[in-house]
Amino acid sequence: MTEQAKDQDGAAVLKRQVHYTSDLLRSLQESIHRLRNEAEELREQLETTGADEVTGAKTQIRKLEELIRDCQKVEKVIAEQSTEFARMLKSEHELDLVAARAAVESGLSRLRTALAPELVLE
């Protein structure tokens, strides 16, 4: 397998990983959103039925509020990651490993030419 074929295979693998991770983040975001909505509904039910310490409803409400805050934090992180993956997917056509390799080799060649011959390790 040539270097170019390896680079193309690597780019294809990376593209599949980005798509898979993007789908995974989307699914996780939907699950967290449903969990938060259910927790908010349960909190509202507890508040309307009367929250007192005897029934332990106030403690449950506090725990639900903690859960809701945690869900919101996770949703924020997922949104940030989703934005990053969307940016990566949008620019995937810019991901050209062959061109990157050629640019690096060209730069190294120019460096070798600029250096004194006795300093170049072959």
Q: Where are the domains of the chain?
A: 3-119
From the CA atom positions of the chain, what is the Rg in Å? 27
With b for 16 or more beta-carbon neighbours within 10 A and e for fewer, the 55-73 pattern comes to: eebeeebeebeebbeebee
Considering only the C-alpha atoms of the chain, give the largest distance between any 2 of them, rounded to a whole number of Å.
Answer: 87
Please state, in angstroms and rounded to a whole number, the distance separating the CA atoms of residues 68 and 4: 49
What distance in Å separates the CA atoms of residue 39 and residue 37, rounded to the nearest whole number? 5
The residue type at 80: E
Q: How many CB atoms within 10 Å of residue 43?
A: 20
In 3D space, the residue among 16, 108, 35, 17 whose CA is nearest the CA of residue 73 turns out to be: 35
Tokens of 106: 């060209």
pTM exceeds 0.85 for this model: no
pLDDT in tens, 77-91: 888 877 777 777 676
For 12-49, the pLDDT digits (tens) are 777 787 778 778 888 888 888 888 888 888 888 888 87
